[in-house]
Amino acid sequence: MAKEGTPLEEMTLRQLRRVASEYGISRYSRMRKARLLAEIQAIERHKRSTTPSPIIEAQRNVESTKFELAQEEPTSDTLVSVDEGLAELPEGYGESRIVLMPRDPHWSYAYWEIPYEHKEELRSQGGQQLALRLYDVTAIKLDYQSPHSIQEYPCDELAREWYLPMPVSDRDYLVEIGYRCEDGQWLVLARSAPIHVPPAYPSKWMEDQFVTVNWDDNLQGKTVLKLVPPSQTANGSSSEIPDLPIYLQPNSTQPGKL
């Protein structure tokens, strides 16, 4: 290794041989001074080209540290202490409810919570078989109108969730959970909110509308044209909803027709 501050060109042959010995140059003792100097300079140029600068080396150290930190996995003790001090979640909230969610055009998922006391009350009234009833409520109100169709699925007393096949896609459905009596009476435990099952096919609705908009108009927050699906128009709804009998309307004594 060259002494610090002493250029190679100013070294004596003996000093160059000492440096050549440290670099592991073979047969350096037989070389003339010029060739020995050239060999040492070639080795030092190669070392400078392969040795990263201090800045690059520092960046590499930082990046490797980041990677190591990102790869650290929490220990079992850390995972155990995450929920330490938190109260236990209750088994239920004391209210009867059922929720229906569409999964795809062909299936929906229902889950429910029914207190034991509520079940006992309806069983004492004659309820025998716990079941789910799926209603097609497209464009109707089930409170005083009859559904387009009803599907019933018996379920287990211990179950709290169920997957329901959808009869037809692109329709509105809701589900009830309750007991069916021996005489056919239906005792309701809970009813879900209505949901819309997506269609299994592309929409056939085609309605091209052309509007003229001034170049200087500020369109932010403005509605240029409101598109109304055919099912929500007078013609569309009359063709889709059949003439079904309904239950008694509120504050009325006569049944009506759609």
Give the structural domain span for 186.
Answer: 97-196
pLDDT at residue 31, as a whole number: 82
| Mean pLDDT across 210-235 | 81
What is the number of domains present in the chain? 2
pTM of the complete model: 0.53
| Mean pLDDT across 137-162 | 94
Highest mean pLDDT among 37-41, 120-124, 237-241: 120-124
Is 62 inside a domain boundary? no
pLDDT at residue 4, as a whole number: 54
DSSP one-letter string for 99-150: EEEEEETTEEEEEEE--HHHHHHHHHTTEEEEEEEEEE-TTS-TTTB--S-E
Query: Do 111 and 184 share a domain, yes or no?
Result: yes
Q: Tell which residue, 205, 150, 173, 190, has the closest CA to residue 103.
A: 173
| Mean pLDDT across 166-172 | 95
Tell me which of 162, 196, 230 is where a domain ends. 196
136 - beta bridge partners? 173
CB of 180 closer than 8 Å to CB of 131: yes
Query: Do 31 and 104 share a domain, yes or no?
Result: no
Highest mean pLDDT among 25-29, 54-58, 139-143: 139-143
Query: Do 43 and 102 share a domain, yes or no?
Result: no
Is 128 inside a domain boundary? yes
Q: Tell which residue, 91, 106, 111, 126, has the closest CA to residue 177.
A: 111
Is 216 inside a domain boundary? no
Is 242 inside a domain boundary? no
Query: Do 102 and 34 share a domain, yes or no?
Result: no
